[in-house]
Amino acid sequence: MEHEIEVLYDVSELFKVFGDSTRIRILSALRGGPLCVFHLAERLAMGQSAISHQLRLLRGAGLVKAKRNGKTVSYSLDDDHVAQILDLGLAHVCHRNTHGSGGSDDEA
């Protein structure tokens, strides 16, 4: 199977979804349990529309799932993989922050 390039493309698309602070914060918030759109917007101090748009993206990527409860819609992480990827990213960042290596990125 020479689909390696397609797979790599899919991988980049997956990470692209993780590559936005709003979406990461949403996912991180959902780690503590399901939350409705209103509470998410409140928690992130952002407009309801912005949250809704990002939730749509996250849902399309299969990272979160939705469930209606009356008027509200509860969102939660769809898969254990999602939390795993989040954790690995956090581990990498924290590791780098602790062992302040000779990186060249912006460090005010």
Partner DNA sequence: TGAACATATGAACAGACAATCATATGAAAG
Partner DNA sequence: CTTTCATATGATTGTCTGTTCATATGTTCA
The angle formed by the CA atoms of residues 22, 24 and 25, to the nearest 5 degrees, is 65
In angstroms, rounded to a whole number, what is the distance separating the alpha carbons of residues 69 and 88? Answer: 32
Only segment of 1-9, 13-21, 82-90, 92-100 that touches DNA (CB under 7 A): 13-21
DSSP state at residue 46: -
| 68 is a contact residue toward DNA (CB under 7 A) | yes
| Cβ 89 to its own copies shortest distance, Å | 4
Sites of contact with its own copies (CB under 8 A): 4-5, 7-21, 23-25, 28, 59-62, 79, 81, 84-86, 88-97, 101, 103-105
